[in-house]
Amino acid sequence: MAQAMRRRARRARAVLAVVTAAALGVAGCDAVGGDSPAPSGSQARPSPRPTPLWDTRPDSVAAVGDSITRGFDACAVLTDCPEVSWATGDSERVDSLAVRLLGRAGAAERSWNYAVTGARMADLPGQMARAVRRGPELVAVMAGANDACRETTAAMTPVADFRADFREAMRTLRAALPKAQVYVASVPDLKRLWSQGRTSALGRQVWKLGICPSMLGDADALDAAATLRRETVDRRVEDYNEVLEEVCAEDRRCRYDGGAVHAYRFGTGQLSRWDWFHPSVDGQARLAEIAYRTVTAKRP
CATH of the domain at 204: 3.40.50.1110
Please give the tally of structural domains in the chain: 1
Side-by-side strand order, sheet with 254-256: 111-113, 61-65, 138-142, 181-184, 254-256
Backbone angles phi, psi at 5, to 5 degrees: -65, -40
* Residue 156 within a domain: yes
Give the pLDDT of residue 42.
Answer: 37
Does 279 reside within a domain? yes
Asked, for residue 67, whether it belongs to a domain, the answer is yes
- What are the pLDDT tens digits along the chain (300 aa)? 444 444 444 544 443 443 333 333 333 333 333 333 333 343 444 544 555 689 999 999 999 999 999 999 999 989 999 999 999 999 999 999 999 999 999 999 999 999 999 999 999 999 999 999 999 999 999 999 999 999 999 999 999 999 999 999 999 999 999 999 999 999 999 999 999 999 888 888 889 888 999 999 999 999 999 999 999 999 999 999 999 999 999 999 999 999 999 999 999 999 999 999 999 999 999 999 999 999 999 987
What is the enclosing helix (H) or strand (E) of 113?
strand 111-113
pLDDT value of residue 282: 98
Backbone angles phi, psi at 108, to 5 degrees: -65, -30
CB 150 within 8 A of CB 222: no
The predicted pLDDT at position 209 comes to 87
User: What pTM did the predictor assign?
Assistant: 0.82
Q: DSSP states of 234-278 as a string?
A: HHHHHHHHHHHHHHHHTSTTEEE-TTHHHH----GGGB-TTTSSS
**Residue 44 has what pLDDT?**
45
What's the pLDDT at 275?
Answer: 92
Domain that holds residue 238: 61-296
Rounded CA-CA distance 140/254 in Å is 10
Question: What pairs with residue 254 in β-bridges?
Answer: 182
Short-list 149, 261, 162, CA closest to 213:
149
- Compute the distance between CA of residue 289 and CA of residue 107 in angstroms, rounded to an integer: 16
> Shortest CA distance to 81 belongs to which of 66, 69, 71, 89?
71
Assigned domain for 236 exists: yes
- Say if 16 falls within a structural domain: no
Q: Which helix (H) or strand (E) holds 184?
A: strand 181-184
The three-state secondary structure class of 179 is coil
- Whether residue 270 is contained in a domain is answered as yes
Check residue 201 and give its pLDDT: 87
Is 45 a member of any domain? no
Residue in 66, 14, 48 with CA at minimum distance from that of residue 187:
66
Q: Is residue 104 a contact partner of residue 111, using CB atoms and an 8 Å limit?
A: no
Rounded CA-CA distance 224/5 in Å is 121
- Whether residue 123 is contained in a domain is answered as yes
